[in-house]
Structure formats: structure tokens, C-alpha cells
Structure 1
């Protein structure tokens, strides 16, 4: 590995490095929670190993418990409230990075779309791109993201 992949929050108080050689592939989530939280039509995210993230700065954790009892831990900047990444008790050791926080987000490639049944009607998904009406089976998502998981 060279120097890793950098990223951070809007105000610059939080910085992180991903212990990766290349930018990760990303996916777009079109669920209504992501639309509401991002204030946009979808959120763009990357899946990485939790231990690949080295973060510094004032990070706060916001926990959400789903009806099934799964706990989502959202990490965000205490200053500007930018969401950086989250983990979920259903997927130990896995983190989901908010792709827009990566320094080189303009170079990212979206390879899959999830919760497409909730996508905005004006949004056309690329022909042939993997998409699922809701959450995909983990092995199919891993394949779409080029991951061995």
C-alpha cells in the first residue's frame, strides 16, 4: 500500500485515511432514509473493512436501533455534522463510508443501485447496472462491488 486514500468532513475538523491502494467502488442507495438524510435523491457509499479506517478529529456517534434490534452507529463530525461512516451490528467488521467525504470523490464509480423501488421517478439508472428493488443479497452486492465478502 502507498499512502492510503484520504477524506474528511466539510469543515476539515475530521480527517481520515483508508488503508487501501485504490479508490473503492461505490453504490447508490435510493431508500427514503438515505434520501432524507442526504437531502438528495440518493446517497453514494463505499463498503470497507472497519479496521481500514484511521480517523482523527472530533467524531461523535449517533446510534439508531432498527425494529429488528440491529444497531447502526453513525460517525459524524461534532463541528459540522457531516456523516463520515457507519457500522451496523448485523455486519461486524464492515464500515460504510459516505463517498462524498473522500478527497477524490470525483473519481468514484457507482457500480450498483439498491432500494431502486424508492428512487426518484425522474432518475434513470444506467442500463445494465446491477440494481435491486430493496436490499440485495450480500453475496450479490459483494460481487457488484468487486469484494470477496
Structure 2
């Protein structure tokens, strides 16, 4: 399976060197709600070397409480493509909605649910945390996820 995606205007394209769609989680924090103009952000955590980008990117840095994120977006239409964070060295957080096959993604975990929209109902058996889980708890939950039915292929730290 060839995993590809890109920005809204088509100036940035990417390919993910993985055999399957990456594990995806939903973040309900206020930053993700604002940045996505939606109820949550969909993110796929993967090793940095698996993502190959073509096209011109611009970036901005955002951080709080000692955790800094560097966001990469299309230089033309400003669609956010991915970010890196010092909380997960060597990993990228891909904006899963930019995948060409985004309709095939189903989140396997939810974080920052204390900020989720009150009208949104989450599956009861889905791993979820009020805020951000520890990397160890997140990796364990992904390995047991009812959505994936498979072991997590990547570390979360």
C-alpha cells in the first residue's frame, strides 16, 4: 500500500514509508480545536525517517510548560502537515486529515478528553485520558486498542 498525502492546494505532497496506515489518535485540547477549526485534531505518530516531503514548507514554533513543538505547513496555503516535539524525539506527528486515504482512518485513542465538546460521544472501550498520557501508558493502550487489533509498531517516546 502506498501511503500519500498533501496540503489543500497541492503544493506540498508527501509519502509515508510504512506498510499500513499509521496509528492515529484524536486530541481534544483547545489548541487542536483552534488550529483545526474543528472539535479535535487527528494525529498519526511515526518515526521521522518514514516521512518524505516534497514542496516548500514554512514553520512556526509553539510551546508551553517545557514542551516545544515545531509545526511545518505548506508555504502557499498554510495547511499544517506535521510537527515535531521535544516530548517525542525522532518522531513526527502527522496531521492525519492530510492523508489521501483519510477516510480509512479511525482513531485508536483519545487524549485531552476533559476539553472535548460535550456533544461528542466517544466509544466506551476506546483508550482515553483527561490530558496527555505518559508515553508508556499511551504505547500500552495502542498495543491493546480495539480499533487496531494489532500491536503498536512504533514507540511513543
Q: Distance in 2 between matches of 1:103 and 1:36?
A: 23
Segments ≥4 residues shifted beyond 4 Å: none
**What is the CA-CA distance between 1:148 and the residue it aligns to?**
4.2
1:72 equivalent to 2:76? Answer: no
What is the Cα-based RMSD across aligned positions, in Å? 1.2
Q: Which range is displaced more, 139-148 or 55-64?
A: 139-148
Q: Distance in 1 between matches of 2:109 and 2:153?
A: 13
1:62 equivalent to 2:60? Answer: yes
1:17 equivalent to 2:15? Answer: yes
1:37 to 35, 45, 67: 35
Aligned to 1:28: 26
CA contact under 8 A between 2:47 and 2:154: conserved in structure 1?
Answer: no
Task: Find the residue that maps to 1:55 and give its secondary structure.
Answer: strand
CA contact under 8 A between 2:46 and 2:154: conserved in structure 1?
Answer: no
List gaps (5 residues or longer) in structure 1: none
1:103-122 matches, cutoff 5 A: 103-122=100-119
1:81 to 78, 82, 89: 78
Q: Distance in 2 between matches of 1:126 and 1:26?
A: 15
TM-score between both structures, scaled by the size of structure 2: 0.88
Paired residues in the alignment total 146
Aligned to 1:96: 93
Q: Distance in 1 between matches of 2:35 and 2:99?
A: 18
